[in-house]
Structure 1
Amino acid sequence: MAGPSRFVVHVPFTAPDRAEARQYARMLARVLGRLPEVDPAEATVSPEDDQSVHSRLFCDRLLSGGHRCALRAEHEAPCAVVESDR
C-alpha cells in the first residue's frame, strides 16, 4: 500500500519586496513545520502573478548523519541542523 500523498497549500500574503516575502515565508514554514505532516525544508515562495517561479526558502543540503541543513537558502555561514521540538 502506498504512503500518504503530498500536497501544496498556496496562501497569498503581502510584503514590501521579495526579501521581506522570503523572510515572512520562512517564518510561516518554521511555525507550520512543528506539525509532523509538514516538510518546511521543501518550502518555496513565488510571486502571486508568476507562480511558476519558485524561490527555495531553506538550504536543505544533506549533512552527515542523514540530517539536512535548515538554514535559509544562499546562507554564508556553515550549514547547520536546527533542532526540532517535535
Structure 2
Amino acid sequence: MSPRWVAHLPFTAADLPAAQQFASTLARSLSLLSEVDSGETTVSAEDAQGVHHRVFCDLPLDGGRRCVRRVEHDGDCTTRRSR
C-alpha cells in the first residue's frame, strides 16, 4: 500500500458551515480519483490547523461501505447521496 499524504489548500469562507460546504463540493468533485479518500475530509481554521472539523459522517456500514452524508446529519446513514 502506498503511503497516504494530505494536501493543504487554503481558501476563504464566511464561517465553519461555509468552509465545510466548500470542502464537501471539492471532495465530491475529486471522488472519481481512486487516490482520494473523500470520507476523511476535514477543515480547520488557518490559525488553528491542529483542530480538524469533519465534513462527512463516514461511519462504517454493512458491506464495507461508509456513510456519505454530511457530519451530524439527521436520519439514517446511507451509502448513496440524495439528489
Q: Normalising by structure 2, what TM-score? A: 0.92
Structure 2: gaps of 5 or more residues: none
Partner Cα distance (1:67, 1:44) in 2: 19
Moved over 2 A (4+): none
TM-score between the two structures when normalised by the length of structure 1 = 0.89
Q: How big is the alpha-carbon RMSD for the aligned residues of Structure 1 and Structure 2?
A: 1.1
Q: Distance in 2 between the 1:39 and 1:82 partners? A: 16
Structure 1 equivalent of residue 60 of structure 2: 62
Partner Cα separation in structure 2 for residue 65 and residue 18 of structure 1: 32
Q: How many residues are treated as equivalent by the alignment?
A: 81
The residue aligned with 2:46 is 48
Which residue identity is paired with 2:80? V
Q: Calculate percent identity across the aligned residue pairs.
A: 51
* Higher helix residue share: 2
